[in-house]
């Protein structure tokens, strides 16, 4: 008999439901506008996807500890470390969105504006457009905009926007 037994595990129904949920959240986030009144829904979709993955990993680790009996202290410490990393990642991703939901949008007159675009390394949905300008306190503000806004704002010298400070998302142009 082979001592290297593989443990076969059946995919649970809740795992399929979680995968469908995460895919729906990601798809919803892809179709949300980069600027406008629905921008926070896009941010919330991102946070939900990350937290769902973190909770899933943590639950799997906790169930493994509970279902498989005693483990050496080093294995328990490693599992606790992974759970802690999941919590830290979740908090870091949720921080900006939570701060913006609490504080609400701000209005600013941006001068000396520049628009730019950047191609990320991830592929199909990786082209991002940005508006950078100086507010009335002299602080540089960088905001994510849509491709249409990029074309419309090119050549402009100032713009007034209502935006979320921590996530850098524009609610509307005033």
Per-residue pLDDT averaged across 55-71, rounded? 79
Q: Which range of residues forms the domain containing residue 140?
A: 106-173
Residues 22 and 97 in one domain: yes
Residues 126 and 137 in one domain: yes
Could you tell me if residue 4 is inside a domain? no
Per-residue pLDDT averaged across 131-154, rounded? 93
User: Hey, which of 30-39, 83-92, 146-155 has the most confident mean pLDDT?
Assistant: 83-92
Residues 74 and 111 in one domain: no
Residues 110 and 99 in one domain: no
Quick one: which of 174, 173, 152 has its CA closest to 36? 173
Could you tell me if residue 151 is inside a domain? yes
According to the model, what pLDDT value does residue 146 have? 87
Residue 57 and residue 82 in contact, taking contact as beta carbons nearer than 8 Å:
yes
Residue 26 and residue 44 in contact, taking contact as beta carbons nearer than 8 Å:
no
Angle at 82 between CA 81 and CA 86, to 5 degrees: 115
Q: Alpha-carbon distance 111 to 140, whole Å? A: 10
Q: How confident is the model at residue 5 (pLDDT cuts 50, 70, 90)?
A: low
Among candidate residues 85, 103, 121, the one where a domain is terminated: 103
- Confidence (pTM): 0.78
- CATH number (domain holding residue 117): 2.40.50
Residue 169 has pLDDT above 90, yes or no: yes
Which comes out higher in pLDDT, residue 99 or 34?
Answer: 99
Residues 66 and 117 in one domain: no
Which comes out higher in pLDDT, residue 66 or 138?
Answer: 138
Residues 25 and 96 in one domain: yes
Residues 95 and 42 in one domain: yes
Q: In this structure, what token pair is assigned to residue 85?
A: 């990393």
Residues 99 and 110 in one domain: no
Could you tell me if residue 92 is inside a domain? yes
Q: Alpha-carbon distance 96 to 43, whole Å? A: 9
Question: Tens digit of pLDDT for each residue in 71-97?
Answer: 777 888 888 899 999 999 999 999 999
Q: Alpha-carbon distance 173 to 161, whole Å? A: 5
Residue 45 and residue 24 in contact, taking contact as beta carbons nearer than 8 Å:
no
Residues 121 and 146 in one domain: yes
Q: How many folded domains does the chain comprise?
A: 2
Among candidate residues 71, 103, 135, the one where a domain is terminated: 103
Among candidate residues 76, 103, 130, the one where a domain is terminated: 103
Please state, rounded to an integer, the average pLDDT across all residues of the chain. 87
Could you tell me if residue 6 is inside a domain? no
Could you tell me if residue 117 is inside a domain? yes
According to the model, what pLDDT value does residue 140 have? 95
Residues 17 and 74 in one domain: yes
Q: Alpha-carbon distance 127 to 153, whole Å? A: 17
């Amino acid at each position: 008999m082979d001592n290297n037994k593989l443990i076969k595990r059946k995919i649970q129904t809740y795992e399929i439901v979680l995968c469908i949920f995460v895919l729906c959240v990601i798809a919803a986030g892809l179709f949300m506008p980069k600027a406008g009144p629905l921008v926070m829904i896009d941010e919330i979709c991102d946070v939900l996807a990350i937290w769902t993955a973190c909770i899933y990993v943590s639950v799997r680790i906790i169930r493994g500890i509970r279902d498989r009996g005693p483990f050496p202290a080093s294995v328990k410490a490693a599992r606790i470390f992974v759970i802690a990393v999941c919590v830290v990642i979740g908090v870091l991703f949720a921080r900006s969105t939570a701060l913006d939901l609490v504080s609400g949008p701000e209005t600013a007159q941006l001068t000396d504006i520049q628009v730019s675009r950047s191609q990320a390394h991830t592929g199909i949905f990786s082209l991002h457009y940005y508006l950078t300008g100086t507010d009335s306190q002299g602080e540089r503000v960088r905001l994510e905009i849509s491709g249409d806004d990029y074309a419309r704002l090119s050549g402009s010298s100032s713009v007034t926007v209502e935006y979320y400070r921590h996530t850098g998302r524009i609610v509307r142009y005033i």
